[in-house]
Chain A
Amino acid sequence: MKCMFRRPIKEVNAEFIAEEKYLDSLQRTVRETCVSAGLSRRDVTAVLLAIEEGATNIIRHAYLYEKGTIRLRVVVYKKLIVFSLIDAGRSFQPEGAGRVDLERLVESGRKGGLGFYMIQKIMDSVEYISAAGFNELRMIKRIAPARPESRPFLRRLFTLRVKFSFWTFLSVLVIIGGAYYYIDRRTSQYLYDHLDDTVSSLAQTIAAQAALYAINRRSDVEFDELIVSYLQSNPELQLIVLSDSSGLILAHSEDIHNIRKPYKIPTFVSTAELGVPQRYRVNGRQYSYLMTPIRAGEVEIGLVHVGYSSAQIHDKLTRARWRIAVLTLVLLFFGIIGIYFLSNYFVRPIVNITRRVRRFASGDLETELPLEGAEEFFEISRAFNEMMTRLSRDRKNIVAREKMAKEIEVASQIQKTLLPLELPSVPDLELDAYYRAAATVGGDLYDVFAISPERYCITVADVSGKGVPASLVMSMLRTVIQIQSANAVSAKETLIKVNDYFQKNIPPGMFITVMLVIYESARREINFVSAGHNPMLLYKADIGEVVKINPAGMPLGMPTTLGPAFEERLEEVQFTMEEGDAFFIFTDGITEAANREGQQYGIDRLINLFVAEMARSARLEISSLSKAIISELDDFSGFVKPADDITFIVARSQLPKSAAGMDLSPDSEEREIETKSVKNVGPEPTETN
């Protein structure tokens, strides 16, 4: 194939699972490529059919319905498209591989081979190549111009160029025709007048001579000779007759024997009009008749009758007209060819623009129209370029946005696996955890799990950064904490081991803040460390106040070269929970939640709320506190989207059940007052460091 050596315009490669339900997406790929290559609608339908046949053959016969893939390669050249369906199945030479004949198919009454027959009919060339474990069905389809089909022949004929040439031709023709008509009328009128004048003076000459002859009594024969000689020397003259005053013929140019006989003036001639040519028609030819008196002195002694024809002039004029018409047409013809080619010059930029726009349409988003040519095209090109730039930019944006959405989806999938499905029940400790992802996925984590029969690990952490990398680090952290805290007693020792791991394995520039609490259930003992994390809020039920505890500690993953080592800085805090005491650990998503004015929620508001809610909900479920915090946060930030994840765990040392029941009905008023007083105390919490 000669064309095969040309550079391909486009190549599409795709792989599909060899199952009938994937035929659709395979065909969609083929359809898109064919349409953008400019294949006509009819051919696209046919090609899709052929591709379906080829692919069905592979599924059924090459793979025998077993697992496999079909590789599709479509290479678009300027004038043809090469489709390849490649499989790694059984080599399946289609039935009647040479040429399938429809009549034989009908005769056989079987269906096998029909598919291949169809492929052969639809495609311009089909090859089946089997080598190195792969089979390739290669089909070639020529690209017949798609346009003609969609528009009627006459419409297509009237391209801009043809229209332009046609109208130019028409207007030139009207101008030339008008001018010609005017000139022709003037010229022929002049010629006819001239003829009349000539004949009239001739008749007068004859009359003068005749008068002389009559006076001199010359013979009739001489008269006759005279008029015949006139007739011969003037071809336009047809008849000259001299008659005397009594109407007898004196001389006749046609027949000498008429002499002395009365002359019959033609009926259509009026004898009254002497000296004026009178016109009449015989057999469609124009004749003129002129009578001039013969005078001897003042006496009219006879008439000169002259019959003449303008036919000769007419013939000459006609011949001249024809010559001019032919010449004009020939000139016009060449003129129009010239105009047609000249209009090419004007139309070329449009053709260029069309080609570029089509390239853009077929996916080459970087195409730009050259800014050249006449002002009008310059403007069109610029407008197109603007449109194309915007389109391709939008497309890139969409791609980027889709990529981001995909990443968020992946990250939130990972994050879901990070959080415990349900919290374990811890003796004498009411627990509630809350997590809400921000629009973009952050790296928050919480976890509660048993590390030994009477010890539990409660942790909240926040990774710097967002997206998939943060989620992956978080997942790593959860695992490492769970491993390192097994059977641990001290929170500090556990976190040091966790840090050892992270210092070696965390991606540079990333760090994690962790709050790690170990709760010993028998003695209600808390022992916790904070690796650069937000403080713990501890509610003391006996005094109704909140203590903010913020032990020293550096985030995990900080380079050790800066300042003291991690374990030296890490400070462990221990205390015992009394009945009704509660602690609250959280990430900065709460304190840094902003409202419309840009104010942050802040720790003071949080402490106030915590105190108030703990006092109010002493006899309620701990989850009511979570709800209160969330609704207050939502009220605060209004419609502002949270920038960060919100995570917290609240744990309350359980009230003895009897006490809870006892306290139900009385002094609820007193509690109300207590709450108020607590609120006043709230803003200045005791700080322990």
Chain B
Amino acid sequence: MENISISLSESDQDKVSEVRVDGVIDTTTAGELEEVIDSLLKRDRFRVVLDLAGVDYISSAGWGIFISHIKEVRANDGDIKLANMINNVYEIYELLEFDKVLKVYGSVDAAREDFPATSGHQSKKKASRSRN
């Protein structure tokens, strides 16, 4: 009925993975997004920017993905950054006080630039260490 489409683009330069989501993130569609995020984290790609420009609605299943992974991601010097939220989604984000936990940005580029400029090699090393 309601659908979701996810496209992933990974950059080797700044090690940021950009996940563009369109549609609705609810109970029925959250699994798909979680798979994408899980696959990134398994490959030690902890710098994730979510482009939410095309997302009309995020239910707890969707927020749950971000909230449940953020600790692990941060422990590995990464972050999950949310960009381009539409007003409706932002209002919920604010109401639920997720601003204490997750950072939002006006654009994907702003989110990208907010990652500290470390050499990709180093951070990868660190990452694998702390995962073991």
A residues with CB within 8 A of B: 20-21, 23-24, 42, 45-46, 49, 52-53, 56, 102-103, 105-107, 109-111, 114-115, 117-118, 121-122
Give chain B residues whose Cβ lies under 8 Å from the Cβ of A56. Answer: 27, 59-61
Looking at the complex, which of B44-52, B91-99, B114-122 is the stretch in contact with chain A?
B91-99
Alpha-carbon distance A45/B95, docked complex (angstroms): 11
- For the complex, what is the distance from the CA of A23 to the CA of B26, rounded to whole Å? 11
Q: Say whether B97 contacts A118, CB under 8 Å.
A: no
A46's partner among B72, B95, B101 (CB-CB below 8 A) is: B95
Q: Name B71's closest neighbour in chain A (CB-CB).
A: A109
Q: What chain B residues lie within 8 Å of A52 (beta carbons)?
A: 26-27, 59-60
Knowing A20-B28, A102-B97, the reply to whether A118 touches B63 (Cβ < 8 A) is yes
Closest-by-CB residue of A relative to B91 is A42
A363 vs chain B, min Cβ distance (A): 26
Q: Do the beta carbons of A109 and B1 come within 8 Å of each other?
A: no
Q: Which of B68, B72, B92, B101 sits near A102, CB closer than 8 Å?
A: B101
Determine whether B7 belongs to the interface, using a CB cutoff of 8 Å to chain A: no
Q: Nearest Cβ distance between residue A343 and chain B, in whole angstroms?
A: 36
8 of the cross-chain contacts (CB-CB < 8 Å) are A24-B1, A42-B95, A102-B97, A103-B100, A106-B67, A107-B71, A115-B60, A118-B60
The CA of A109 and the CA of B61, in the complex, are separated in Å by 14
Q: Does B39 contact A (CB under 8 A)?
A: no
A103 to B95 alpha-carbon distance, docked (Å): 15
For B72, list chain A residues within 8 Å (CB).
109
The answer to whether B92 touches A45 (Cβ under 8 A) is yes
List of B residues within 8 angstroms of A114 by Cβ: 60, 63-64, 67-68
Q: How far is the CA of A23 from the CA of B88 in the complex (A)?
A: 20
Task: Write the chain A residue with the least CB distance to B75.
Answer: A109
Q: Chain A residue with minimal CB distance to B70?
A: A106
Which of B's residues lie within 8 Å of A, judged by CB? Answer: 1, 26-28, 57, 59-61, 63-65, 67-72, 88, 91-92, 95-98, 100-101
Secondary structure class of chain A's binding surface, majority of residues: helix
Residue of A nearest to B69 (CB): A109
- Asked if B59 contacts A53 (CB within 8 A), the reply is yes
CB <8 Å contact, A102 and B95: no
Across the two chains, which residue of chain A brings its CB closest to B74?
A106
The residues of B that contact A53 with a CB separation of less than 8 Å are 59-60
Among A20, A42, A121, the residue within 8 A (CB) of B96 is A121
How near does chain A come to B130, taking the closest CB pair, in angstroms? 14
Contact A46 B69 (CB under 8 A): no
Question: Looking at B63, B70, B101, which has the most chain A CB atoms within 10 Å of its CB?
Answer: B63
CB-nearest residue of chain B to A55: B27
Closest B residue to A50 by beta carbon equals: B60
**Nearest 9 A-B pairs (CB), nearest first?**
A111-B64, A115-B60, A114-B64, A121-B96, A111-B68, A114-B60, A42-B91, A109-B71, A53-B60
A52-B26, A118-B60 known; A111+B96 contact, CB < 8 A: no
Q: How far is the CA of A53 from the CA of B58 in the complex (A)?
A: 11
Specify which chain A residues have a CB less than 8 angstroms from the CB of B61 in the assembled complex. 56, 111
Q: Give complex CA distance A250, B7 in Å.
A: 110
- The interface residues of chain A lying within 8 Å CB-to-CB of B67 are 102, 105-106, 111, 114
In the assembled complex, the Cα of A117 lies from the Cα of B101 at a distance in Å of: 14
Q: Which residue of A lies closest to B34 (CB)?
A: A111
- Beyond A52-B26, A106-B101, A109-B71, list 20 extra A-B contacts (CB 8 Å): A20-B27, A24-B1, A42-B88, A42-B95, A45-B88, A52-B27, A56-B61, A102-B67, A106-B67, A106-B70, A109-B68, A109-B72, A110-B68, A111-B61, A111-B68, A114-B64, A115-B64, A117-B96, A118-B60, A122-B96
Q: How far is the CB of A292 from chain B (nearest CB, A)?
A: 84
Residue of B26, B28, B67, B101 with most partner-chain A CB within 10 A: B67
Q: Which residues of A contact B28 (CB under 8 A)?
A: 20
Q: How far is the CA of A288 from the CA of B18 in the complex (A)?
A: 87
> In the bound complex, how far is the Cα of B74 from the Cα of A662, in angstroms?
99
Closest residue on chain A to residue B59 by CB atoms: A52
Residues in B with CB closer than 8 Å to A110 are 68
| Distance to closest chain A CB from B66 (angstroms) | 10
**Chain B residues, Cβ within 8 Å of A46:** 91-92, 95
Interface pair A49/B71, CB less than 8 Å apart:
no
Query: Which B-chain residue is minimally distant from A53 (CB atoms)?
Result: B60
With a CB–CB cut-off of 8 A, which chain A residues contact B59? Answer: 49, 52-53, 56
With the chains together, A107 CA to B67 CA distance in Å? 9
- Complex: how many Å from CA A121 to CA B97? 8
Could you tell me the distance between the alpha carbons of A49 and B1 in the complex, rounded to whole angstroms?
18
- The smallest C-beta distance from B54 to any residue of chain A, in angstroms, reads 17
